[in-house]
Chains A and B, each alone.
Chain A
Amino acid sequence: MTRDVQLTSCPTEQLILFHYAELDEGDCRQVEQHVQQCRACRAELSSLREVLAQVPTAVPELTAGELQRFSSRVMQQLPRRQRFNRPVLGWALAGAVAVLLALNLNAPVETLIPAQVSMPMPMMAEQEMVNQLELLQNLDLLENLDLLQQLASRG
Chain B
Amino acid sequence: MARSRCRIDGQGGCGYALWMDENTEKILLTQIQNGDEGSFEALVNAYSARLIGMAWRMVGNREDGEDLVQETFLRMYKNIAKFRGDSSLSTWLYRILTRLAIDHLRRQKLKQKIFFLRNTEDDLDPLEQAADPRANPGEIYLAGEAGRKLTKALGRLPVRQQMVFNLRHHEGLPLKEIAGVLELEVGTVKAHLHRAVHFLRKELKDLQGGLS
Contact = CB atoms under 8 A, between A and B. Distances in A.
A, B in one complex? yes
Interface of A: 12-13, 16-17, 19-22, 47-49, 51-52, 54-62, 67, 70-71, 73-75, 77-79, 82-83
A71 B41 contact: yes
Contact of B170 (A47, A49, A57): A57
Given A20-B12, A56-B147, A48 B139 contact: no
Interface of B: 7, 9, 11-13, 35, 37, 40-41, 44-45, 48-49, 52-53, 56-57, 62, 66, 69-70, 73-74, 77-78, 139-143, 146-147, 150-151, 154, 168-170, 174-175, 190, 193-194, 197-198, 200-201, 204
Contact of B12 (A52, A56, A79): A52
Nearest to B72: A74
Contact of A55 (B37, B150, B175): B150
Given A13-B190, A21-B7, A54-B143, A70 B66 contact: yes
A56 B141 contact: yes
Most buried by A among B11, B56, B146, B200: B11
Nearest to B168: A20
- Of all A-B residue pairs in the complex, the 5 with the closest CB atoms, nearest first, are A20-B12, A58-B141, A56-B147, A13-B194, A54-B146
Contacts of B37: 75, 78, 82-83
B154 A17 contact: no
A21 B9 contact: yes
Contact of B13 (A21, A71, A75, A83): A21
Given A21-B12, A71-B44, A55 B194 contact: no
Given A20-B11, A56-B140, A56-B150, A51 B200 contact: yes
Contacts of A61: 49, 53
A54 B193 contact: no
B190 A17 contact: yes
Nearest to B204: A51
Given A21-B12, A52-B169, A54-B150, A62 B140 contact: no
Given A56-B141, A56-B143, A77 B49 contact: no
Contact of A71 (B35, B45, B139, B169): B45
A39 B88 CA distance: 43
B153 to A, nearest CB: 9
